Every structure is written in C-alpha cells, then in structure tokens.
Structure 1
C-alpha cells in the first residue's frame, strides 16, 4: 500500500482531472465514474485542487461537492428508476480505508434487493456492527 502523499504530481485523481472528461463538474469539483464500482452508477466527486481528505476542503469546495451530490442523485434517478436509495461515503485516513489521498466522495446508487439486508448501511465498514 503506498504511503499517503501530498504530491499532486503522483496523484491518480489529479491525473484524471487533468485528462478526462467529467461526468459532471461544478465550480471547484469534478465527478467521474469509480474505476472499481460497487454498483452500476457509482461515482466519485473530487475537488479539482489536490486536497488529501475531506477535512482539508475549503467551504467553497464542500459547497460545490454538495451541489454535485444533489445534481447527480437527480440525474441517476431520472435515468434509472430502479435506484431507490444512495450511500454517500468518505474515507479519511489510512486507518479508515483511504487508499487514494486526494479527497473523494463516493455516491453509490442502491436498488431494492441489491443485498440481503441493507439495515445499518455504512455501519458495515466495521465487521459485525451493521446490524443493531
């Protein structure tokens, strides 16, 4: 596992921002498809500026990311009526599972029946803690 870095020259997301067409963008943020999606339509929202985690975002970056989350949720649900919910997730720090140290927000569309029991949602990041 690579060590966290503040070097944007080696950052895969900085390279994607510089070379790819976004699914959407607004102000200081850019959205693209996750390379390893957990469901169809799984997107990442990232700041255009290299920022290592959510806590290093500016107020404007947070506002622009929130705008994209709402815009993309609407677009996904209009395009795919089978989407009945979403998980929104951010991993901050190595011990929380962050592997790319450029802030990224996961927007994960969910569909009825996509897992046996969705109760607890993101609580499932710790084994045995999802059900309560």
Structure 2
C-alpha cells in the first residue's frame, strides 16, 4: 500500500519519503488502512535510518495544500533525520514553517 524512497532533494542525510501507492493529493483523503500502512513503514524506516545514519532525532511531516508548501500533489510523508548542531536552535521543530512563531518560552 506504500513504499519509501530517499528524497531527491534531502535536507539531511537519510531524508526519506513514505509514499502511498494510490494517487491521492491530500493526506486527509487516504483510507484508514493506507494511513496504517504508511505509519508502519515510517516505523520500519526509522529502524533502518537509526542503523545507517544514527541521527539524534527526527521530524516527520506532510505538506497539505499550496499554502502549506505542497508542490507535488501526491501524498508523501517526510522522515527527516536530525543531528545535534544541524541548526543553531532546534526548539520549536516543525513550528519553523512559520519562523516568527517557531521559538517560544515555557
């Protein structure tokens, strides 16, 4: 129901995509079993990435719609390995898609 591939324009070593086989533009249009298959594959890929690249963390994300940065209209889930020091201040993680709201204090 899904397959994985390295991102052609990866932002870090091991940046991987999980892609459902059925052509659907939006993550929200996937059937429950397709979501489950993608999540299972994400877990499998994480194990492989841990062994090969030994990252310190991960970001997992999906762009849905033009306003969110989607440029390929076939669902794909990014698994982005993160490494200590790859950015100056990683606080906020995926919140950096809107830079002015990325950093926050507790």
The answer to whether TM tops 0.5 is yes
**CA–CA distance in structure 2, aligned partners of residues 75 and 127 of structure 1:** 31
1:54 to 18, 21, 27: 27
The list of structure 1 runs, each at least 4 consecutive aligned residues, that deviate by more than 6 angstroms after superposition, is: none
2:92 to 114, 120, 126: 120
Please list every run of 5 or more consecutive structure 1 residues that lacks an aligned counterpart in the other structure.
Answer: 1-27
User: Within the alignment, does 1:93 sit opposite 2:69 as a pair?
Assistant: no
Instruction: Provide the TM-score with structure 1 as the length reference.
Output: 0.77
Question: Residue deviations 1:3-48, cap 9 Å, x none?
Answer: xxxxxxxxxxxxxxxxxxxxxxxxx001111111100100111110
Which one has more relative contact order, counting CA pairs under 8 Å at least 6 apart?
2
Partner of 2:8: 35
How far has the Cα of 1:62 moved from its partner?
0.3
Question: RMSD in angstroms over aligned alpha carbons?
Answer: 0.7
Instruction: Provide the TM-score with structure 2 as the length reference.
Output: 0.95
Number of equivalences: 104
Larger-Rg structure: 1
Please list every run of 5 or more consecutive structure 2 residues that lacks an aligned counterpart in the other structure.
Answer: none
**CA–CA distance in structure 1, aligned partners of residues 41 and 7 of structure 2:** 15
